[in-house]
Amino acid sequence: MSKTEPSIYGKMPILNSATLLIVGCHGIGKHELAKALVGVGTSYALQVRTATSLPLPENKETDRPKIDMVIFMIDMTDKRSMAVVESSLPHLDVDYFLGRVCFVIKNAQGLLDRSVEIEAVTQLADTYDSPLLCETVEPGQGGSSVAEKILQLLAISVGFHDHITPLLIDVTKRPYHTLLDSSIAWTPNS
């Protein structure tokens, strides 16, 4: 584990609390999502951190708690957001990708404004083996459902549910493009 990639096992967890990191370019709506997450209300202490790109600035490394889950936000109408996410992904330690990463896409409904291909996003989700969630435009009504889904994933990744690990979720997930699985196809006779 190199110094530039903070490992998930590098820090001690805090009792009954979870930390979430949202990564996305400027002005994409990280704070709205953070407010929705905090607004749901959980039995444990939730902390949300937002960043415009990875790697995170190093000077605050010691103050930072253990990050339990990372969310990448992509805006379908903005190519910049896709570029930011693609450049940040290599900086994340591999351990995170086993169920502790999630992609959230915005503005996926309008066909006219779209500048990021939906194929590119699904390929990304498959390559990194992580779930893909869609956030609708009205934050008041639709936003909280995304927040609840994220919080469920978070609770699993922190370990609040016995007998469910993030790896179990990851393995039972179906990929978007099944061609990717052909190389590791399991046949009953082998």
Partner 1 sequence: MEYELLKKTLVRLRRDELEKTLKKWSKLSKHHPAWGCLEGLDLSTTKIQLLPQLYKRLSKIQPHHAGELDLLYMLQHSSSKTWTVWLSTELHGSEGYAETPQAFRRRLKTALESYFMLDIQVMEHQKALWVRIYIHEDTKYQANNTVYAVYYPHSPVLILTAIKAANREYIIQAFSNTLSAGELEEQMLSGHCLSSLAQLSLNKYSQGYFSHYRLGQVDINALARGEKRKRKIEEEEEVLDDRITYENIKDKQRSKKILQDTFGSNEQPSLERLEYKMETNFRGGNCAPHFAKSKEPFRCRVKFEGRNVLEGIKNLGKAGYATLPLPAHLARVPSLAKNTIILGNKKSKRQ
Q: Does 159 bind partner 1 (CB under 8 A)?
A: no
Nearest distance in Å: CB 171, partner 1: 31
CB of 119 to partner 1, least distance (A): 26
53 binds partner 1 (CB under 8 A): yes
From the number of C-beta atoms within 10 Å of its C-beta (0-12, 13-18, 19+), residue 79 rates as exposed
The C-alpha atoms of residue 76 and residue 54 are separated, in whole angstroms, by: 20
Omega prior to 55 cis, within 30 of 0: yes
Q: Is residue 45 classed exposed, middle or buried when 0-12, 13-18 and 19+ CB atoms within 10 A define those classes?
A: exposed
Nearer to partner 1, 55 or 142 (CB): 55
25 binds partner 1 (CB under 8 A): yes
Least distance in Å: CB of 153 to partner 1?
Answer: 18
Q: How far apart are CA 154 and CA 158, in angstroms?
A: 6
The tokens describing 55, both together, are 């790697």
What is the rounded CA–CA span in Å between residue 152 and residue 98?
Answer: 16
By CB under 8 A, tell whether 35 contacts partner 1.
yes
* 26 is an interface residue for partner 1 by CB under 8 A: yes
Shorter beta-carbon distance to partner 1: residue 39 or 175: 39
Number of residues forming the site for partner 1 (CB under 8 A): 20
Which residues neighbour 163 within 8 Å (Cβ) at sequence distance 6 or greater?
Answer: none
Q: Is 116 in the site for partner 1 (CB under 8 A)?
A: no
Name the residues that contact partner 1, by CB under 8 A.
Answer: 21, 25-27, 31, 34-35, 38, 45-53, 56-57, 60
